[in-house]
Structure 1
């Protein structure tokens, strides 16, 4: 029986997981463009949705804090039956008697003054809600950059495969030509085997290129929380070009300092620490509250009827209460001192956040400039090595060069091609990250 229960629980759990994935897959975009991938990741991220729930919780705290300024109201009602044995003074002896009574009351109170605690508590809750929303924005930015990098890695792998296929096609054509030359006796078996070796080597390189594509695709699927069995294919943009245009470094840093959520979040942290300090200081001031109550009651051991008793027993009270802190064993003084320390820590964290952001932008800018320089050089090198390789390939047909020279030119061309592709997508990636810091959305 225990084994059956375990199997049923596992089956139910698997069914819930499959249903959750099916629900998730119902919302997938038709085309996996970069923009759709980013939007999908933001919508379905567990981290983001968890932070959104934290934001909703912070909003509930704010509503409760605001409601604390309103008067409270409570009512009470009791019904009791008392069975007692008493001495009868008239006839003597004991007599058992049951008495029924009812009591009703209504009370209310409101804080008139508490040193500004409620006002600053509302302010603190507003700041906590703002910080929760900014946390969502920070995570969305992080996911955007992660998706962009993973997406570009797929495009890089796809373009690399195209070049590897072209090189393999050329090698196979050379092998076919080498077979004819070998059959005609114009080349040795050693040279012919070198042609075969090159084809095998290029096939191996193509396999590695496809493996890299599968690995990069898996990374993006995992970021998107898609099952590994999902048939996933990114939409390649019509043109993937390197853009060397962008804002200046100083301007980008100034823009980021004014718009990035982590900067605003660090400012909110300082304000929140100051609001908490104000709340603590309120504990050193008097608290004044107003209270009122209404009450009445009924007992059947009285001769008056029910309604008349309720009227006769109707009491009203109104009072003002004041509590003055005199000495609480240095608790308030310690809390004030510690909150002042928290404010200084928040200000240092704010300064660190600003410096870190500037440094990140500087690093991305330098990486972008370096990648652009490498792209320019690699583009020139690739075109030259490609032309040299094509010339050498034609010369081989007429016996003007030997196979060793061809293979040397081919290796140079392959290396130049891979360097070009790497520099191209590094330039695109760092350029888009740099623009993103400047407030430009990431698109193709």
Structure 2
């Protein structure tokens, strides 16, 4: 019993599994998730899509060039594409041409669309960072939960071993008449309770493990063993001061959720400018070269006129400028501008909501970290005192000065104290990790 109590405060130093098996640290889980998580990959696809949209917007300011060719078969009364007169004959012919179009002015619509696509691309990048931060935070919590379950399971197994050994001793004492069967019933009931508690912890551990595998995009068949934390860092973590005001001011400048909302706000503002461009005149220029031919066209000797000669003879060119002035569009364009202004208002509200959410969540993390420090200090002192108290109860029980119920009560207090202490160590470590993630992103 004493040997178990001596080693209990150092359990987080001891590997939970046998040597030779691959153990994943928290940093390993971060790295694997950033590489494999499907949500991250979808966010990257959104970035790629926005990058293509930006290229499309940039190329839209260039002139468009198109080549066309067609061939028709006509029967009965039709217009000859070469002579442009009505004929009652069966013939085949067609036309070919090259056209060039260039938008000279469209109310700066295309330029604003390019700027808009650039902000959309930045928003997509910040969205990915936001998703990464949320993912890593979830991994941190799952890792902490899984590690706590494994530590509690280890404590539970040790308690079961101790209870089993005690039962063996009790049976021997019952045979010699030194104890009654009442003592055996009490400890046997405790052993069954400890088995039930262990099953509960193991089930929760399996749920946490599957959750972590999902974050890492591991198959449910894949083995995943997590490594213990380095508790030597707890002293430095405990002595790390966090100024809430300074920390929040720093986070507000860099948090990806806020930056994403700000980029979306810029997209909405440019959407107003794009909509207003529909109210302005647009000017475009175009040019083209075209020709046509008739497969039945003949020359004076009755032979068919060569195709290249027909194309040269019928070659035509054109150039023009087009001015389009919107006079009345049944308020379609005006209402479009109003809708875009509403989008700007919504984007501003979204930015404010993002800031409020970040402030609230950050304050909560800071408060939880500070509480974890105080809890760690208090539970350490409580565990040490309960450890001494239990050792005294164990000695008294050996001397027959107390009953088994009193001993079990003392052990319950010690076990609860040990579990709370282990939980406070993990909570302090992982609360600090969550703050580091916020600062990193």
Deviates more, 1:412-421 or 1:201-210: 201-210
Shift of 1:309: 4.5
Give the secondary-structure state (helix, strand or coil) at the position aligned to 2:279: coil
Q: So what's the TM-score if we normalise by structure 1? A: 0.83
Mapped contact 1:99–1:301 kept (Cα < 8 A): no
Verify: 1:289 aligned to 2:313, yes or no. Answer: no
User: Relative to 1, partners in 2 of residues 1:191 and 1:336: Cα closer, same or farther, differing over 3 Å?
Assistant: same
In 1, Cα distance between the equivalents of 2:379 and 2:433? 20
In 2, Cα distance between the equivalents of 1:376 and 1:104? 87
Verify: 1:74 aligned to 2:69, yes or no. Answer: no
The higher relative CO (CA closer than 8 Å, separation ≥ 6) is in 2
Counterpart of 1:161 in structure 2 is 153
User: Relative to 1, partners in 2 of residues 1:258 and 1:161: Cα closer, same or farther, differing over 3 Å?
Assistant: same
Verify: 1:138 aligned to 2:130, yes or no. Answer: yes
Counterpart of 1:11 in structure 2 is none
Deviates more, 1:303-312 or 1:165-174: 303-312
Shift of 1:229: 3.1
Shift of 1:264: 0.7
Verify: 1:347 aligned to 2:342, yes or no. Answer: no
Counterpart of 1:413 in structure 2 is 414
Mapped contact 2:105–2:283 kept (Cα < 8 A): yes
User: Relative to 1, partners in 2 of residues 1:112 and 1:423: Cα closer, same or farther, differing over 3 Å?
Assistant: same
Counterpart of 2:106 in structure 1 is 114
In 1, Cα distance between the equivalents of 2:67 and 2:114? 28
Verify: 1:439 aligned to 2:437, yes or no. Answer: no
In 2, Cα distance between the equivalents of 1:374 and 1:56? 46
In 2, Cα distance between the equivalents of 1:342 and 1:426? 42
Counterpart of 1:198 in structure 2 is 190
In 2, Cα distance between the equivalents of 1:252 and 1:104? 69
Q: Which of the residues 249, 258, 262 maps onto 1:254? A: 249
Q: Any stretches of 5+ residues in structure 2 without a counterpart? A: 1-20, 79-86
In 1, Cα distance between the equivalents of 2:195 and 2:91? 102
Counterpart of 1:224 in structure 2 is 216
Counterpart of 2:388 in structure 1 is 387
Counterpart of 2:325 in structure 1 is 324
Shift of 1:249: 1.2
Shift of 1:102: 4.8
Give the secondary-structure state (helix, strand or coil) at the position aligned to 1:283: helix
Counterpart of 1:48 in structure 2 is 40
Counterpart of 1:7 in structure 2 is none
Mapped contact 1:288–1:320 kept (Cα < 8 A): yes
Q: Which of the residues 166, 173, 176 maps onto 1:174? A: 166
Q: Which of the residues 255, 266, 269 maps onto 1:274? A: 269
In 2, Cα distance between the equivalents of 1:99 and 1:164? 96
Counterpart of 1:215 in structure 2 is 207
User: Relative to 1, partners in 2 of residues 1:186 and 1:104: Cα closer, same or farther, differing over 3 Å?
Assistant: closer
In 2, Cα distance between the equivalents of 1:96 and 1:269? 64
Q: So what's the TM-score if we normalise by structure 2? A: 0.84
In 2, Cα distance between the equivalents of 1:277 and 1:264? 20
Give the secondary-structure state (helix, strand or coil) at the position aligned to 1:157: helix
Mapped contact 1:115–1:282 kept (Cα < 8 A): yes
Over residues 333-352 of structure 1, what are the superposed CA-to-partner deviations in whole Å (9 max), with x where a residue is unaligned? 22222212221221121112
Deviates more, 1:187-196 or 1:409-418: 187-196
Mapped contact 1:367–1:430 kept (Cα < 8 A): yes
- Counting matched residue pairs gives 404
Counterpart of 1:366 in structure 2 is 367
Shift of 1:302: 4.9
Mapped contact 2:23–2:224 kept (Cα < 8 A): no
Mapped contact 2:242–2:366 kept (Cα < 8 A): no
What RMSD in Å do the two structures reach over aligned CA positions?
2.6
Over residues 332-380 of structure 1, what are the superposed CA-to-partner deviations in whole Å (9 max), with x where a residue is unaligned? 2222222122212211211121111011101111122222222211111
Over residues 115-137 of structure 1, what are the superposed CA-to-partner deviations in whole Å (9 max), with x where a residue is unaligned? 10000111112222222222222
Give the secondary-structure state (helix, strand or coil) at the position aligned to 2:440: coil
Mapped contact 1:286–1:325 kept (Cα < 8 A): yes
Over residues 208-254 of structure 1, what are the superposed CA-to-partner deviations in whole Å (9 max), with x where a residue is unaligned? 33333233222222333333333332222454753222532122212
In 2, Cα distance between the equivalents of 1:311 and 1:229? 73
Shift of 1:296: 2.5
